[in-house]
Amino acid sequence: MEMGCLVQVIILGSGSPLPDPHRAGPSTLVRTAAGDLLFDCGRGVLMRAAAVASGAGAFKALFLTHLHSDHITDLNDIFTMRWAMSFQPNPLPVFGPVGTAALLRATEAMLEPDIGYRLAHHDDLRWRPSSTVTEVERGLILDEGGVRVTASPTDHAPVRPTVGFRIDEGEQSVVVAGDTVPCAALDELCVGADVLIHTVVRRDLIEEIGLPRLTDVLDYHSSVADAAQTAARAGVGTLVLTHLVPPPAPGTEQEWIDQAAAHFDGSVVLATDLLALDVNQGP
């Protein structure tokens, strides 16, 4: 992205742990003057990134909201492809909650056979894959090229710790909430943001289905109404609903928007894969 361009949000994956042929796993790309910032890396992230001319080697940094499997499924793919497709050492910068450093060590250990195969086969590949990990909880974590990224704790208990992120460039601001129930720290992070990207579940549909494994998720995810109320309290401009559980049936998309609009008078967008929004301009 060239200097002076608008911040752009691209939903790479709008899905959830439930496999969906139309929705990749949760992942959001925020294009800034400092480069492409990737938030979470669910299944299929590099396939979706390829569709918008980005990829593992192009990511300025990877930010993990938490270590639930659906948000980190393709970490190994990013780690491997950044290494194998670079022509000089290119460590992957990763920011995430406490536990992220151990996750990266475990990922590298899991890939040890593959690393050995590639080092043995490619004469011009003389270095191992690597990452630089910064474990974060609260406060400014990146300040570069006029782009500031701030972290704040969220509430996805018993998953602990979890964080949300705010990206500010000039007068433009985006918040990536991750999985969370409403909480004061998230409200503070969101104040005045142009765009809030919030994971949501449909409480009414999940209760109707009635399966315990599904109803269990209700106590640690925000409903559509919860996310809308968070956006309203914080004075957000646009609310993007993503990580949709259960996946919207064709023809029911407006129901999700209407549920949010009952609590929030800003713009509401239901995410689809590769949805792109220019901040301050909308989709």
pLDDT of residue 5: 57
Q: What is the DSSP string of 187-216?
A: HHHHTT-SEEEEEEE-HHHHHHH--HHHHG
What is the Cα Rg of the chain in Å?
A: 18
Q: Indicate whether 282 pLDDT > 60.
A: no
Beginning with the edge strand found earlier in the chain, give each strand of the sheet holding 131-135 in spatial order. 131-135, 92-96, 59-63, 35-39, 27-32, 8-13, 275-278
Domains by residue range for the chain, with CATH = 8-271 (3.60.15.10)
Pairing of strands 172-176, 195-201: parallel
pTM for this prediction: 0.96
Per-residue pLDDT of 63-80, as tens digits, reads 999 999 999 999 999 999
CA distance 40 to 63: 6
Q: Pick the catalytic residue: 70, 74, 179, 273?
A: 70
Q: What is the mean pLDDT of residues 119-140?
A: 97
Clarify whether 204 is annotated catalytic. no
pLDDT of residue 3: 42
Per-residue pLDDT of 212-227, as tens digits, reads 999 999 999 999 999 9
CA distance 123 to 84: 12
Tokens at 267, concatenated: 């713009």
Per-residue pLDDT of 9-64, as tens digits, reads 999 999 999 999 999 999 999 999 999 999 999 999 999 999 999 999 999 999 99
β-strand partners of 276: 10
Question: Residue 111: which residues within 8 A CB-CB, separation 6 or more?
Answer: 76, 79, 80, 129
β-strand partners of 104: none
Average pLDDT, the chain: 96
